[in-house]
Structure 1
Amino acid sequence: MLEVHGGTPLRGTVRVRGAKNLVSKAMVASLLGDSPSVLRGVPRIRDVEVVTGLLEVHGVTVTSAPDAGYPDGELILDPADVAQGSIVDIDAHAGSSRIPILFCGPLLHRLGQAFIPDLGGCRIGDRPIDFHLDVLRRFGATVDKTPGGIKLEAPQRLRGAKVELPYPSVGTTEQVLLTAVRAEGITELKNAAIEPEIMDLIAVLQKMGAIITVDTDRVIRIEGVDSLSGYVHRALPDRIETGSWASAALATGGEIFVEGANQPDMITFLNVFRKIGGAFEVCETGIRFCHPGGELKSSVLETDVHPGFMTDWQQPLVVALTQASGVSIIHETVYENRFGFTDALNRMGARIQLYRECLGGTPCRFGRQNYQHSAVVSGPTTLHGADIEVPDLRGGFSHLIAALAADGTSRVGGIELINRGYEDFLDKLAGLGARVDMA
């Protein structure tokens, strides 16, 4: 339990390292190589611990750089002794993570078999693994559902396939990439996700020897190769964490320099941040975000796949929008249940109403399906302290921002979920002047 004493503007510097949504996938990609890989900029987060454990269960040696201070976040991943892990060990290390599904393609290439337990993850919407299993079947894998999980086998070398996604799913795009690079022949993926983390994964695979072409119409073509080597790669900065700290600066009336933030990956966010009244300065080593004084302005925005407004930016920004003058409308088109975190904000004094209708400019796939996927935020409102239980990773950090912006003291439970994606966040908060105590 964390006690948060609100009302203090956050001021100072935080450093962001490699993107959570790339680092874990690059670690999995090391399974495909016939020599060690070196990944730099790796953050100390729970998801990295989970993937490290799963890799070690499968025989990969994972070591960190010798520097005790972990200054560069360097991991060395050696897949020389890849072997099938026990079901019990896989299940124990996976926990509620969904990352094991991405082990399937590489393990099928290396061992001819793979096993994944029942999968969890944040409860923000339906993220079925059916797309993944269908893709793996198209490559020639057999899939057998058992009471304890799913067993996959590749009786012969996997073959390239033509795949068209009904929605540009990031996870399924990653699955195709990690499977197709060593499959026989050519794979064509239509309606692929093209997020910066996907492009960075492609860069990793290309360094390993893969042949991958990305067209302008969301079509990715992969020409399979017989073998891949290891890689040396620095992960791109985490744009989600950057947006979270920017929103914290705005909501608390403070100023935060995010060291390592990368402007090109943040352009869509920066446009919205400026339109609602935030100020930023792009520097050589990062981006400075601040509340320049005066009123914040309401806004209308829709989340979307890249290059649209990222769904993971939405939750922390909603907290800032509770302090904006007027009515803001947010249409969530990526995850159907991402507004559950607003219940706690309303108990803290926010005025947020949820609607089943598509309130954005374009009807989305969740319309007329009874999903409350649009929000109307009326402001500004004074937030006050409350008892909060963290619902998921991004919603949890958003609750922290609300508690920091609120009058009085909040008690926040379940903060271990935030460790999944935010490195040393308690130390960072203390360095920004936040008044937080473990209860």
Structure 2
Amino acid sequence: MDSFKKIPGQEENDVSTDSEDILHVNGGKPLNGAIKVRGAKNFVSKAMVAALLAPGTSVLKNVPEIRDVHVVSDLLRLHGVNVNVDGEKGVVTIDATHVKLASVADVDTLSGSSRIPILFSGPLLHRLGEAFIPALGGCAIGGRPIDFHLDTLRKLGATVDKEHKDGIHITAPNGLTGAKIHLPYPSVGATEQTLLAAVLAEGKTELSGAAIEPEIMDLVAVLQKMGAIISVDVDRTFRIEGVKELKGFTHTSLTDRIEAASWASAALATRGDIFVKGATQPEMMTFLNVFRKVGGEFDVTDKGIRFWHPGGDLKPVAIETDVHPGFMTDWQQPLVVALTQANGLSIVHETVYENRFGFTKPLVQMGATIQLYRECLGSLPCRFQQRNYKHSAVIFGPTPLTGRDIDVPDLRGGFSHLIAALAAKGPSNVHGISLIDRGYADFRGKLRQLGADID
């Protein structure tokens, strides 16, 4: 049985009551202290899906207590998989010996919870010869079409029926066969889809234009432990030699670099001092460079990274988000809150998601000076050039922030609003905070550990 703590606002039907879904914040107080960050949200859920590829038992360690883990656990159980979650130890044990096709009605109950179900396609095709994918959920931060996923599956030999009334029915009665696949954009999801589908496909698969994020490389490590043969070239090309069978794995997840950077930004915005236990330097080098340019201080130790505001003025910066090893799109939203307190003009050019700046409106209402532009305010080639998307932001500071009522728009934007409320003078009511549980484990408890005045 699951021993994860009940997440406030998460009832059996995943609908939260109003009182549970509002956090009252009295801001203006520096966050000081130590908190611990566990495994990466963007890896753990994918490794759990990978366990479907092999009959037998897999063990995943350093698992965070987040809602996405519950969603994937439930999806696996619907497919006949035995899942045991030890939340206190952060260990998930998955026995995928017996796999069955879940009923459409059951899968549909979890359809809006995340985008994970699409990644079940490859493993289910290998184990059962067919898969059903319901309507997908996730954060409304821009277009994340599944066409790349479906094109990949078709090239590997699957038949995709998009006319199914409740979702997408995918079949491969004769199995999957290796193919040459090129991604027009280094999509993380499509790269994961190809890896999960190609490892048991007959023959060789060449995937070019792939994403190479640390979470993907950790997934490759898991697949290699299971018996897969995957090589990686420096030009974003994966070469996968299909094998006949895989076995279970035991693996410890890499730390969540997004959560670690979010707490670092919170330290900067509130003029605080936070030691993030578990944070590691290699995956965060690009963020650490920008953090230092802004004027933040950090100290890397064997046990984690300490982030703090050294006093004085923060400095403005110009940054552009990009796929790894560039500045991660999930890092920019929390950092923008800190940039409202920098002395001068900062520029952020978002090149990954076209609608990621929707979260800035409440910041402006709190007193920030932020202007959005359709033009590319940067040097990187951008897919959104000459398109009607406000994907560049100019932030002028420092501007004092004042508390107010805020509605959480999405996972990362929601945590950014929480940072703003903590940095602002006066009380704020942050509505819809249960959405933050998708990616930030026990964030309320961590805020209390850091001395935040919340209720």
TM-score range, shorter chain: over 0.9
Runs of at least 4 residues of structure 1 off by over 6 A?
none
Distance 1:176 1:17 in 2: 27
Identity of aligned residues (%): 68
Q: Measure the CA separation in 2 of the matches of 1:120 and 1:25.
A: 16
Is residue 142 from structure 1 mapped to residue 159 from structure 2 by the alignment? yes
Partner residue of 1:127? 144
1:326 matched to 2:344? The reply is yes
User: 53, 61, 70: which is aligned to 1:40?
Assistant: 61
Instruction: Determine helix, strand or coil for the equivalent of 2:358.
Output: coil
| Matched residue type, 2:112 | G
1:194 and 2:212 correspond: yes
Q: In structure 2, how many angstroms separate the alpha carbons of the residues matched to 1:143 and 1:255?
A: 52
1:77 correspondence with 2:98: no
Count of aligned pairs: 433
Deviations 1:325-383 (A, max 9, x none): 00000000000000000000000000000000000122411011110000000000000
| Aligned equivalent of 1:31 | 52
Instruction: Give 1:157 deviation, angstroms.
Output: 1.3
Partner of 1:111: 128
The answer to whether the aligner puts 1:161 opposite 2:146 as a matched pair is: no
Q: Is the 8 A contact 2:111 2:135 kept in 1?
A: no
Contact 2:55-2:98 within 8 A present in 1 as well: no
Alignment of 1:163-312 (within 5 A): 163-312=181-330
Partner of 2:360: 342
Is 1:18 paired with 2:35?
no
- What CA deviation, in whole Å up to 9, does each residue of 1:101-146 have, x standing for no partner? 0000000000000001111210000000011011101111111121
SS state at 2:343 partner: strand
Distance 2:305 2:189 in 1: 29
- CA RMSD in angstroms comes to 0.7
Shift of 1:294: 0.5
SS state at 1:273 partner: helix
1:80-110, CA deviations, whole angstroms, 9 ceiling, x for partnerless residues?
Answer: 1100000111111233311100000000000
**Aligned equivalents of 1:81 and 1:189: distance in 2?**
30
Which one-letter code corresponds to 1:58 in the other structure?
Answer: H
TM-superposition CA deviations, 1:244-284 (whole Å, max 9, x none): 00000000000000000010000000000000100000011
Aligned AA for 2:194? Answer: V
Give the Å deviation of 1:35.
Answer: 1.5
Partner Cα separation in structure 2 for residue 169 and residue 74 of structure 1: 29
Normalization by structure 2: what TM-score? 0.94
Letter matched to residue 186 of structure 1: K
**Secondary structure, aligned partner of 2:142:** coil
Cα distance, 1:34 vs structure 2? 2.1
- The 8 Å contact of residues 210 and 224 in structure 1, kept in 2 or not, is answered as yes
2:426 alignment partner, one of 408, 427, 430: 408
Instruction: Indicate conservation of the 8 Å contact 1:192/1:219, yes or no.
Output: yes
Indicate if the aligned counterparts of 1:34 and 1:227 stay in contact, CA closer than 8 A.
no
- Give the gaps of 5 or more residues in structure 1: none
**1:278–1:290 Cα contact (<8 Å) kept:** yes
1:134 and 1:364 map into 2 onto residues whose CA distance is 23
Q: 1:7: which partner in 2?
A: 28
> Is contact 1:54-1:94 (8 Å) kept?
no
Aligned partner of 1:351 in structure 2 is 369
CA shift at 1:416, angstroms?
A: 0.7
CA distance in 2, matches of 1:53, 1:71: 19
Secondary structure, counterpart of 1:12 in structure 2? strand
- Alpha-carbon deviation of 1:15? 0.5
Following the alignment from structure 2 to structure 1, what is the Cα–Cα distance between the partners of residues 78 and 93? 16
Residue 377 of structure 2 aligns with an amino acid whose one-letter code is: L
2:7 matched residue in structure 1: none
Q: CA deviation at 1:304?
A: 0.3
Of 388, 405, 409, the match for 1:370: 388
- The CA distance in 2 between the partners of 1:111 and 1:195, in whole Å, is 30
State whether structure 2 residue 115 is matched by structure 1 residue 94.
no
Aligned amino acid, residue 245 of structure 1: W
Query: How far apart in 2 are the matches of 1:94 and 1:18?
Result: 24
Q: Secondary structure at the match of 2:215?
A: helix
